[in-house]
Amino acid sequence: MAHLSRIPLAPLRDGTRKLLRSPQAMHAAVLGAVAYHPDAGRTLWRLDSDNRHRPYLYTVTQVAPDWTALVEQAGWLVDEPNAKPVVADYGQLLAQLQPGQVYGFRLTASPVQNSRTPQNPTKTQTDRIAAAADGKTRSFRMGHRTAAHQLAWFTDRVKGFGFELKEVPASAPAAPSILPLTAPAAEPEPTLDVRITARDRRQFTKTDSSGTGNTTVTITTATYEGTLTVTDPFTLARTLLTGIGPAKAYGCGLLTLAAAQ
């Protein structure tokens, strides 16, 4: 049974600072909350640190988590309800999804593209290209860097996630005091209620698969907010449980819903 958790973090604690700096450390801390279970399944997490005084960690786990160790490391050590983790049965929300419902949403994702010819290849990419015997290599996964491409990456994919973005009518032009001699302009096209509220580029090293050296990992992220309308409850429920896009181990892919404003 899936669970949605929200854990408030104390930003001045040394343990919190470590987790905020390192996606690897945060991933390990999240997995630690379900490590007791022999088959924990997929775990998603997202760090909302737009308010640096009160960062929150959101997670979706397939089993009931135990946040005791994480709170001891990075949580608020006060006996106040709003300083404690909140764990909810996610199945209740998923069961209530119906076509036509409107929700506000938030998502931090890693918008990427595949290319065999990167413009500024890294050393690892250069070595792979040079080592290809036939001159052909597998496509490289590269992050979109401009806000326009990051937004298009998301809007082009929403139909496969079980929802559509709410349309916002464009503002009507002010009525002229004197009627124009030309034909009136066409009605402006509606815009989609989605915006990028944060963009980041995370870089860190991890041990490579051979265990003999380190590999540099670079992740480009974008945080999307807006309003959606449910079109396919089953597909949306699967999206909420499995996430969107790559880099899920490093805090990307978790979509959350809230009451629409």
The Cα–Cα gap between 10 and 133 comes to 52
Q: Using the structure block, give the residue that is written with the tokens 């815009």.
A: 191
- pLDDT of the chain along its 261 residues, tens only? 899 999 999 999 999 999 999 999 999 999 999 999 988 899 999 999 989 899 999 999 999 999 999 999 999 999 999 999 999 999 998 999 999 999 999 999 999 987 555 556 555 555 555 666 565 666 666 778 899 999 999 999 999 999 999 998 766 454 444 445 555 555 556 799 999 999 999 888 887 666 666 778 889 999 999 999 999 999 999 999 999 999 999 999 999 999 987
CATH 3.30.70 at 102-172+184-233+255-259, yes or no: yes
DSSP three-state, residue 156: coil
Superfamily for the 3-96 domain: Crispr-associated protein; domain 1 (3.30.70.1200)
pLDDT of amino acid 121: 58
pLDDT of amino acid 89: 96
What is the b/e burial string over 32-57, where b = at least 16 CB atoms within 10 angstroms of the residue's CB? bbbeeeeeeeebbbbbbeeeeeebbb
| Closest by Cα among 2, 45, 30 to 243 | 45
pTM: 0.84
Q: Please report, for the chain, how many H helices and E strands are present, in that order.
A: 7, 13
Q: Where in the chain is the domain with CATH 3.30.70.1200?
A: 3-96
